[in-house]
Amino acid sequence: MKSVFVDTNVLIYPLQTDDPTKAAIATAWIERLAAREALVVSPQIINEFVSVLTRRYAFLPLLDVLEKARDYSEFCRARMDSDTTRAAIDLLLLHRFSWWDSVMLASALDFGCEILLTEDLQNGQSVDGMLIVDPFTADIDTVLRDI
């Protein structure tokens, strides 16, 4: 079974009310990936999720944010350790991604994800065989056909 690493922003959109279109699209991705047991995140993603929703977008009660983080932690299967850090350094030097994007990519690649779902990197780009997919421009049915 293929696995799809999901970036923090995709997990946050369903909780925002300022862009209902993106919220609906992100929700569809999350629900369909979870139903296929293909959704993967790392500790970094859960940590960013809590940080963003308690600092930048503090529109939800803290207990609601933590409950949702606990729900998403079910999909926290990619690791983040010293090997991830070393791989992230290599990715940063080779591709010039930001540090946090490099850490995310290293976790996803280490887990063996075939797809990284994010709007923050170039849609269609391949990084060490993993395809970058922008969930808000890609057709969900086409991408999920083989998952």
pLDDT at position 21: 95
- Whether the predicted pLDDT of 146 surpasses 80: no
Q: Where are the alpha helices (DSSP H) in 15-76?
A: 20-35, 43-51, 62-72
pLDDT in tens, 83-126: 999 999 999 999 999 999 999 999 999 999 999 999 999 899 99
CB 29 within 8 A of CB 63: no
> Using 50, 70 and 90 to split pLDDT, how confident is the model at 145?
confident
- Whether the predicted pLDDT of 75 surpasses 90: yes
> Using 50, 70 and 90 to split pLDDT, how confident is the model at 1?
low
The pLDDT mean for the chain works out to 93
pLDDT in tens, 31-48: 999 999 999 999 999 999
Going by C-beta distance under 8 Å and a sequence separation of 6 or more, which residues neighbour residue 118?
6, 7, 9, 10, 104, 132, 133, 134, 135
Backbone angles phi, psi at 78, to 5 degrees: -85, 140
Residue 49: CB atoms within 10 A of its CB come to: 21
Q: Helix or strand or coil: residue 130?
A: strand
